[in-house]
Amino acid sequence: MPEKGAELSAKPALTAAEKQLFHRRQELNYWKNNASRLRSRNLLTGLAIGAFVVGMFSYTILSVKQERILEELDDEAKIHMIRGPRTSANS
């Protein structure tokens, strides 16, 4: 009865093409087994990026509206400063 080590050494060595095919099959099996987990991670990442973009857009729009309001208040203040104080003598 031959030893186990002798049986393993008697196996023919794989060629480069066979090794490449074997690695491709392993990789395909990996992607098949983990596709749902990767899909959920990608979905979570996409939602996080989308929420960040919407938040940044909303913040920007809000700050622009506040600047417009402040500009309007400044314009009104300038008008009142130019007209001077309202008293009974100059109204």
Q: Tell me which of 91 and 78 has the higher pLDDT.
A: 78
Q: Decide if 4 is inside a domain.
A: no
Q: Decide if 34 is inside a domain.
A: yes
Three-state secondary-structure class, residue 14:
coil
Q: Decide if 70 is inside a domain.
A: yes
Q: Tell me which of 1 and 83 has the higher pLDDT.
A: 83
Q: Decide if 30 is inside a domain.
A: yes
Residue 91 has pLDDT above 60, yes or no: no
Q: How many domains does the chain have?
A: 1
Structural domain that includes position 79: 15-83
For the stretch 11-60, pLDDT in tens is: 678 888 889 999 999 999 988 888 888 899 999 999 999 999 999 999 88
Q: Decide if 55 is inside a domain.
A: yes
Q: Decide if 9 is inside a domain.
A: no
| Cβ–Cβ < 8 Å for 22, 14 | yes
- What b/e sequence results for 4-19 when a residue is b if at least 16 CB atoms lie within 10 Å of its CB, and e otherwise? eeeeeeeeeeeeeeee
Q: Decide if 23 is inside a domain.
A: yes
Query: How confident is the model at residue 56, as a pLDDT?
Result: 94
pTM for this one? Answer: 0.47
Q: Decide if 76 is inside a domain.
A: yes
